[in-house]
Amino acid sequence: MTSSSVFSALAPYGWDEAWADAFAPYEPEGLLPGRVVRVDRGQCDLVTAHGMVRADTAFVTPNDPMRVLCTGDWAVVEPAGHPRYVRTYLPRRTAFVRSTSSKRSEGQILAANVDHAIVAVSLAVELDLGRIERFLALAWESGAQPVVVLTKADLVPEAATLAHLVQDVETTAPGVPVLTVSALDGEGLDVLVAIVSGGTTVLLGQSGAGKSTLANALVGEDVMAVHATRDIDGKGRHTTTTRNLLALPGGGVLIDTPGLRGVGLWDAETGVGQVFSEIEQLAERCRFHDCAHESEPGCAVLAAIASGELAERRLDSYRKLIRENQRIVAKTDARLRSEIRKEWKKRGAQGKAAMEAKQGRLR
pLDDT on residue 338: 57
Do residues 201 and 71 touch, judged by C-beta distance below 8 A? no
187: amino acid identity, one letter:
E
From first to last of the 363 residues of the chain, give the pLDDT tens digit.
677 888 889 999 999 999 999 999 999 999 999 999 999 888 999 999 999 999 998 887 766 767 889 999 999 999 887 778 999 999 999 988 877 654 455 677 888 999 999 999 999 999 999 999 988 998 898 889 999 999 999 999 899 999 999 999 999 999 999 999 987 788 899 999 999 998 999 998 877 778 888 888 888 866 554 444 434 344 444 444 456 898 999 899 999 876 555 566 666 788 888 999 999 999 999 999 889 898 899 999 999 999 999 999 999 999 999 888 887 776 666 554 455 456 656 655 665 666 666 556 555
pLDDT on residue 233: 42
What does residue 347 show for φ and ψ, rounded to 5 degrees?
Answer: -65, -35
pLDDT on residue 240: 41
Distance of CA 148 to the CA centre of its chain: 11
The model's pTM? 0.79
pLDDT on residue 228: 43
pLDDT on residue 148: 96
Three-state SS annotation for the chain: CCHHHHHHHHHHHCCCHHHHHHHHHHHHHCCEEEEEEEEECCEEEEEECCEEEEEECHHHCCCCHHHCCCCCCEEEECCCCCCCEEEEECCCCCEEEEECCCCCCCEEEEEECCCEEEEEEECCCCCCHHHHHHHHHHHHHHCCEEEEEEECHHHCCCHHHHHHHHHHHHHHCCCCCEEECECCCCECHHHHHHHHCCCEEEEECCCCCCHHHHHHHHHCCCCCCCCCCCCCCCCCCCCCCCCEEEECCCCCEEEECCCCCCCECCCCHHHHHHHCHHHHHHHCCCCCCCCCCCCCCCCHHHHHHHHCCCCHHHHHHHHHHHHHHHHHHHCCCHHHHHHHHHHHHHHHHHHHHHHHHHHHHHC
Query: Cis omega before residue 83 (within 30°)?
Result: yes
pLDDT on residue 10: 93
